[in-house]
Structure 1
Amino acid sequence: MLVLLPPSEGKAASGRGAPLKPESLSLPGLTAAREAALAELVDLCTGDEDKAREVLGLSEGLRGEVAKNAELRTSGTRPAGEIYTGVLYDALDLASLDAAARRRAAASLLVFSGLWGAVRVTDEIPSYRLSMGVRLPGLGALSRHWRAPMAQVLPEAAGGGPVLDLRSAAYAAAWKPKGEVAARTATVRVLHAPTRKVVSHFNKATKGRIVRSLLTAGIAPKDPGELVEALRDLGYEVEAAAPTGAGAAWALDVLVDEVH
């Protein structure tokens, strides 16, 4: 099973690992697109700081993120699973998983990124700031920049099993599963059970807990139907709708009582 995750807006500081080697990251078919995005971002952030903040959508309080981006080629690195923080990743809590669950995480989790396209949690990257909704001066909209290389690389990465898509809309725009991959993809909404309204903060926490539950249980469903049953066995209340036409994905609603 492949699990597609959004990144976190905030990130941990860069680590003490060797500087970034784009060619060493997973999914080497994305290397050229990564190099192009990296070059554009570093060039932007080594120039006019106010322009960079405007392009990146950063407040005055986040001015330091521009300097951080300017040093991406020389900054230390750490595993992506340690770089990404926030509600979903706190609930997932990769660091506390046992060795077997960490191996499953390394093999199955793919974090989407405006800068890297997608990385595995074991890929060594520096801390950065670049959301998928940004339009870089030379590349334009990042979601569009990533569509062609993603379309070449992601179907192979998906393998033959189910794809659990937990991305937000901005990151889903970079790659939409098609054909038979779409038919074995399941998207997830988290709804407040009594009202059937989409929840916000608890949405991310629930998605993190779902992934953690699957990893710790060692469940390897063969298709979305088995995934639904596995989630129910793990105690989640799930309503599932199978695809209704070509190119459609499964739609899973996870119902929760808390709406923090």
Structure 2
Amino acid sequence: MLILLPPSEGKTAPVRGDRLDLSALSEPVLTPVRERVLDALVAVSARPDAAEVLGVGAGIADEVARNTALREAPTAAAKRVYTGVLYAAAGLDRLTPAARRRAAASVGVVSGLWGLVGPEDPIPAYRLSMGVDLPGAGPLAATWREPLRGVLDPRAASGELVVDCRSATYLAAWRPARDVHRTWVQVRVLREVAGHRSVVSHHAKHTRGVLTRHLVTRRGREPRTAQELARAASELVGTELLAVELDAPATGAATLSLVVA
């Protein structure tokens, strides 16, 4: 099982820790692209128009300025750097040793800067979205597409279940090949009020985090099919969820809908 998450927009900057070492990150085949994107981000972040180029508001100018020192910045495990609604619910920094090992093997964060990192990978806090067209690197979703195919397509093609909790911006960087869609399940969250269902961002982030935590902490064999995933998610009905619905067509990707109040 591979659970794909987006990074959080906000991040907790480590106050101490080793300096960034790209060779310490998982998936070392991505290092050359990481080097190129990192160099481009450092250069752009020193420009007067950095906030505009990075698509962020002037109110977080300090976070943009922090990008200029990423190579010297202290690092911490990604599970502690990524914060926000999804990561608070997932609680990847609050796991038993057994669940921590499962998360390390099963959870991947798709990032505009790193491509793909695991919860234990040491990274600094940074500001960069996958939706940015970064001078010196190009549109990041396109920049990462082929490298991520090289890393993720073999896992999907092997029959490993891909539980995709990413937002549309990060979906643009990698989708499995059509012939392996049967192993890919996209997770969506619907809010139900008075019988009417709608998509809402805050609930989606929280609920995807809840599902992630459940999958890495529950006892028993991890799900291997979309149907087994739906049954595992159904264990949350009555507590976090109102209902779980699976749309698994004969061809194409499956969709797991999590319904919340």
TM-score range, shorter-chain basis?
A: over 0.9
The answer on whether the counterparts of 2:3 and 2:107 sit within 8 Å (CA) in structure 1 is yes
Cα distance in structure 1, aligned partners of 2:160 and 2:15 = 34
Structure 2 counterpart of 1:154: 152
Deviation at 1:123, TM superposition (A): 0.3
Q: Deviations over 1:179-223 (max 9, x none)?
A: 343211110111123212112211111111111111111340121
Please give the root-mean-square deviation of Cα atoms over the aligned residues, in Å.
1.4
Give the deviation of 1:157 after TM superposition. 4.2
In the alignment, which residue of structure 1 is the partner of 2:98? Answer: 100
Report the alpha carbon displacement of residue 2 of structure 1 after superposing the two structures with TM: 0.3
Q: Which residues of 2 match residues 105-184 of structure 1 at below 5 A?
A: 105-158=103-156, 159-184=158-183
The match for 1:38 is 38
CA distance in 1, matches of 2:61, 2:197: 39
Question: For the residues of structure 1 that align with 2:188 and 2:164, how far apart are their CA atoms?
Answer: 10
Aligned AA for 1:163? V
User: Which residue of structure 2 aligns with residue 253 of structure 1?
Assistant: 257
1:111-131 per-position Cα deviation (integer Å, ceiling 9, x unaligned): 111100110010000100000
Contact 2:191 2:203 (C-alpha < 8 Å) held by counterparts: no
For residue 241 of structure 1, what is the aligned residue in structure 2?
A: 247
2:19 corresponding residue in structure 1: 19
Which amino acid in the other structure matches residue 170 of structure 1?
T
- Whole-angstrom CA distance in 1 between matches of 2:213 and 2:24: 27
Deviations 1:35-76 (A, max 9, x none): 110010011123x2x211110122221111122100000101
Q: What secondary structure, in the 3-state scheme, does the structure 1 residue paired with 2:12 have?
A: coil
- Distance (whole Å) between structure 2 residues aligned to residue 165 and residue 222 of structure 1: 14
Q: Is 1:211 matched up with 2:212?
A: yes
TM-score when normalising by structure 2: 0.92
2:81 maps to which residue? 83
Question: Tell me, which stretches of 5 or more residues in structure 2 are unaligned?
Answer: none
TM-superposed deviation, 1:14? 2.7
Calculate percent identity across the aligned residue pairs.
Answer: 49
TM-score (norm 1): 0.93
